[in-house]
Amino acid sequence: APRTSRASLVKGASRSINNAAQQALIAHWQGIVKGLGDFLNTLKTNHVPPFLVRKIFTQIFSFINVQLFNSLLLRRECCSFSNGEYVKAGLAELRDWCHNATDEYAGTAWEELKHIRQAIGFLVIHQKPKKTLEEISRGLCPVLSVQQLYRISTMYWDDKYGTHSVSPD
pLDDT digits over 3-55, tens only? 555 454 444 544 555 677 677 778 999 999 999 999 999 999 999 999 999 99
> What are the residue boundaries of the structural domains of the chain, listed by start?
18-155
Report the DSSP beta bridge partners of residue 157. Answer: 80
Question: Residue 152 corresponds to which amino acid?
Answer: I
Cα–Cα distance measured from residue 35 to residue 23, given in angstroms and rounded to the nearest whole number: 18
Of residues 29 and 166, which shows the higher confidence score?
29
DSSP 8-state class, residue 80: B
pLDDT at 128: 73
What average pLDDT does this structure show over 54-68? Answer: 98
Cα–Cα distance measured from residue 81 to residue 125, given in angstroms and rounded to the nearest whole number: 9
Q: Which of 35, 24, 165, 159 is nearest to 89 (CA)?
A: 24
Q: Does 165 score more than 90 pLDDT?
A: no
User: Where does the chain have alpha helices with state H?
Assistant: 6-45, 50-74, 81-106, 114-124, 133-134, 146-155
pTM higher than 0.95: no
Q: Does 64 score more than 90 pLDDT?
A: yes
pLDDT at 148: 96
CA angle, 19 then 161 then 124, to 5°? 80
pLDDT at 160: 74
DSSP 8-state class, residue 47: T
Radius of gyration of the chain (CA): 19
Cα–Cα distance measured from residue 40 to residue 160, given in angstroms and rounded to the nearest whole number: 37
Of residues 128 and 89, which shows the higher confidence score?
89
Given a contact cutoff of 8 angstroms between Cβ atoms, the answer to whether 83 and 77 are in contact is: yes
